Structure 1
Amino acid sequence: MGLRTWLGFTQESDTTTATETVPVGTVGTLEHKIENLTESMAQLSLAREDAGWERIMQDGQRELTSEARRRNAELCRIFAIANPLIKRGLELRAAYVFGQGVGTTATGDQVNDIVQTWLDDAEVREVFAGPQAQARNELALGTDGNVFFALFTNPLTGRVKPRVIQFEEIQEQVTDPEDSLTVRYYKRVYNRRTTTGDEQEIVTYHPRYDYRPQIRQRFYRPAGSNEQHEIVWDAPIYHVKVNALTGWQYGIGDAYAAIPWARGYKEFLESWAVMMNALSKIVWQRVGKSGKRTAANARRELEKIPGMTAGGSVNATDDTKLEAIPKTGATIDSESAKPLAAMVATALGIPVTMLLADPGQTGARAVAETLDKPTELTMQGRQDVWREARRQILGYVIDQAVIAPRGLLRGQGKTVRDGDRLETILNNEEDRTLTITFPDISKIDAKTMMEALDKADGHIPPLLLAELVMRALNVRDVDEWLAELQDEDGNFIDPIGAAGQAAVDAFRRGEDPAEEV
């Protein structure tokens, strides 16, 4: 039975000129049935929405698909360029994390020389250690939530060259069959241009930076597939990810949660600008009796207004007058959008006063010039992420200097196998202890800091005191200056005492002591 029959319609003929009739007494019944049908459709629609939310909740327990991750990253990148709030928010995060630089030293002299040489290498600074690279990598965490460093290694010399693998190229992570959280390989798919100008799709597998099984197969064949692809053992990957839930293999960008509110803020200001523009179009109105002659006179008077100077006048009759359009109750305050901006600031973990760059309107100046404790801890947490990344990558660099046949630390340590990992132990393991320092992002004036360090003199080692003083004064290249304050055995050299001794020695040689000071 069709819907038309169920509603009570009858069809008298099947010809193209057929007419349909409804008995007069059934109109109320039809209206009742239509109302029930509408309610049924609404209930079905509501049930569908409930099922959708249930599906969303179920999907939230699993990780996003590769296509969803790619779309989200692309959207965040667009907003990081085109939306002022997202752009400024991500730039502020990068400035808080890396704006004052980062220092790295190793305890052992030879190990420290390797670390400093590697960090000062032009290729390393371009990709990992330089200011531009640090800001770019932090921005990638803000948009993509993931950064993949491929550590291309020379197996003969142990030299390591880092490269950033594009987020879209990593399409799969192969994990331990017995542990889904232990990654073994990263599947990389990219296009390589041939000599003929054509693009060829290349598929390779890169091991995790600390995965080194005893038997290393040359190719990897996925389960259920007849294809096999090369495993690039000399280019392992270190993966940095943020905002990942438990069990997730990939992270989510910081800007992901802020995008809906940034879009809402943009749309609000656009609507506000349209309203202000509309209110400025009509300023005067004529009030009076209608009539052809009266309207013509009023139109002529209105046409004079745009060219009038201040203090001008118009002619009006007893039954016609000109008055300004009242604006009371018609304006929209742009500050009403501040809660939307506050949601963007909350998602990015920064104060709204900093995000809007307008402390005079949104807060006191003292508040705008300092970070609150939660924001400070948030930025320190991100610094810890990069501190760990630097520690692990530098640890890999030191390991390769020991393992490689022509490595700079060859013969100064041994390797011990622990399952699928190869652990490197130096003869003096303390030599590889790394100290990675981010300057304090809290606002403490130099005078207060120097007074505290002056009182600490004599209670902490002089070399450490010298380092703290230089960092308090924002001295660049602290590591290099610390090397100038140590002798060949790593002992501290007092610069004042050393200058005095040099002057005495010059005097004894018959030279001018002033030239030595």
Structure 2
Amino acid sequence: MTIASPLIKRGVQVRTGYVWGQGVTIQARAGEKDDQDVNAVVQAFLDDPSNQRALASAEAHVQCERTLATEGNWFLTFFPDPTTGRVQVRTLPFAEVVDKFTNPDDRDQDWFFLREFTETVIEAGTRPGTLRRRTQTRRVFHPALGYRPSQRPKTIDNIPVEWDQPVLHLAVNRPDGWKWGVPDVYAALPWARAYEGFLNDWARLVKALSKFAWKAHR
């Protein structure tokens, strides 16, 4: 509907313009030398061209807002480099997130996200000097950002755990006890369909009246 319905599409565009139209500035507080060092790290993260595409650019902000409007859930995966300290961030499609597991004693504390995706593998072909492509489906666990238990198993139910790739989940309109959020556009769908029906009926009425007017004029 966000793509096909002019009403919904325009509504999302107006919302995005109001939220991000003037841009946003993120920085650590100024003052002490330590604060300046922290701000330098923050700015380096935001200015990273890779992170600009996924998170920090104006285009990324718009895409984030559209995702919350159409899917109700937004996922970010972080890839830290233990050698340099550089952290790259990527968005994770909601369609690839199969399940979420929380603390059994505190359902508001996320522990793991189960991801299932299809990847293309390039490997040597049957003849020397050739390559071939094949697809394979993988299932992996990602820990929630900030969840760092003292014991970190390599697998859960024989599914590998990517401890170095934590995931941040942002959800909107999530009812109490639900795992996932509900898209903002969902509430507007009945009204958009009803108004489109009204416009279609009005167009037919005007077309019919124009025929009567044309005959009367003749």
Letter of the 1:192 counterpart = E
Letter of the 1:165 counterpart = L
Letter of the 1:259 counterpart = L
Q: Does 1:185 align with 2:112?
A: yes
- Is the contact between residue 181 and residue 249 of structure 1 (CA under 8 Å) also seen in structure 2? no
Distance (Å, rounded) in 2 between the aligned partners of 1:282 and 1:111: 74
Letter of the 1:262 counterpart = A
The structure in which a higher percent of residues are strand is 2
- Is the contact between residue 149 and residue 164 of structure 1 (CA under 8 Å) also seen in structure 2? yes
Match of 1:203 among 109, 121, 139: 139
Letter of the 1:229 counterpart = I
How far is 1:246 from its partner? 1.4
Number of the residue aligned with 2:209? 279
Match of 1:89 among 11, 14, 34: 11
Aligned pairs, how many?
204
Where in structure 2 are the equivalents of 1:114-513 lying within 5 Å? Answer: 114-195=41-122, 196-221=132-157, 228-283=158-213
> When the two structures are superposed, what TM-score results if normalisation uses the length of structure 1?
0.38
Distance (Å, rounded) in 2 between the aligned partners of 1:122 and 1:270: 47
Identical counterparts, % of pairs: 38
Number of the residue aligned with 1:100? 22
Distance (Å, rounded) in 2 between the aligned partners of 1:95 and 1:248: 30
Deviations for 1:296-347, whole angstroms, at most 9, x for unmatched residues? xxxxxxxxxxxxxxxxxxxxxxxxxxx559xxxxxxxxxxxxxxxxxxxxxx
Number of the residue aligned with 2:128? none
How far is 1:283 from its partner? 3.5
Unaligned runs of 5+ in 2: 30-34, 123-131
Letter of the 2:6 counterpart = P
Distance (Å, rounded) in 2 between the aligned partners of 1:252 and 1:173: 16
Over 3 Å counting, the alpha-carbon distance change for 1:284 and 1:239 in structure 2 is closer
Deviations for 1:173-204, whole angstroms, at most 9, x for unmatched residues? 01223333321000001100122323211101
User: What is the root-mean-square deviation in Å for CA atoms of aligned residues?
Assistant: 1.6
Over 3 Å counting, the alpha-carbon distance change for 1:116 and 1:278 in structure 2 is same
- Is the contact between residue 155 and residue 234 of structure 1 (CA under 8 Å) also seen in structure 2? no
Letter of the 1:173 counterpart = K
Distance (Å, rounded) in 2 between the aligned partners of 1:241 and 1:95: 20
3-state SS of the aligned residue for 2:107?
Answer: strand
3-state SS of the aligned residue for 1:258?
Answer: helix
Distance (Å, rounded) in 1 between the aligned partners of 2:135 and 2:202: 49
Deviations for 1:134-189, whole angstroms, at most 9, x for unmatched residues? 01101100110110000111122221110000011011001223333321000001
3-state SS of the aligned residue for 1:181?
Answer: strand
- Is the contact between residue 184 and residue 208 of structure 1 (CA under 8 Å) also seen in structure 2? yes
Unaligned runs of 5+ in 1: 1-78, 222-227, 286-322, 326-517
Deviations for 1:374-425, whole angstroms, at most 9, x for unmatched residues? xxxxxxxxxxxxxxxxxxxxxxxxxxxxxxxxxxxxxxxxxxxxxxxxxxxx
> When the two structures are superposed, what TM-score results if normalisation uses the length of structure 2?
0.88
3-state SS of the aligned residue for 2:211?
Answer: coil
How far is 1:240 from its partner? 0.9
Distance (Å, rounded) in 1 between the aligned partners of 2:46 and 2:164: 20
Distance (Å, rounded) in 1 between the aligned partners of 2:214 and 2:44: 74
Letter of the 2:105 counterpart = E
How far is 1:267 from its partner? 1.3
Distance (Å, rounded) in 1 between the aligned partners of 2:213 and 2:169: 61
Deviations for 1:45-90, whole angstroms, at most 9, x for unmatched residues? xxxxxxxxxxxxxxxxxxxxxxxxxxxxxxxxxx111111111111
- Is the contact between residue 141 and residue 254 of structure 1 (CA under 8 Å) also seen in structure 2? yes
Distance (Å, rounded) in 1 between the aligned partners of 2:184 and 2:213: 46
The structure in which a higher percent of residues are helix is 1
Letter of the 2:102 counterpart = T
Deviations for 1:223-282, whole angstroms, at most 9, x for unmatched residues? xxxxx1111111100111111111222111110000111011111111111221122224
Q: Does 1:80 align with 2:10?
A: no
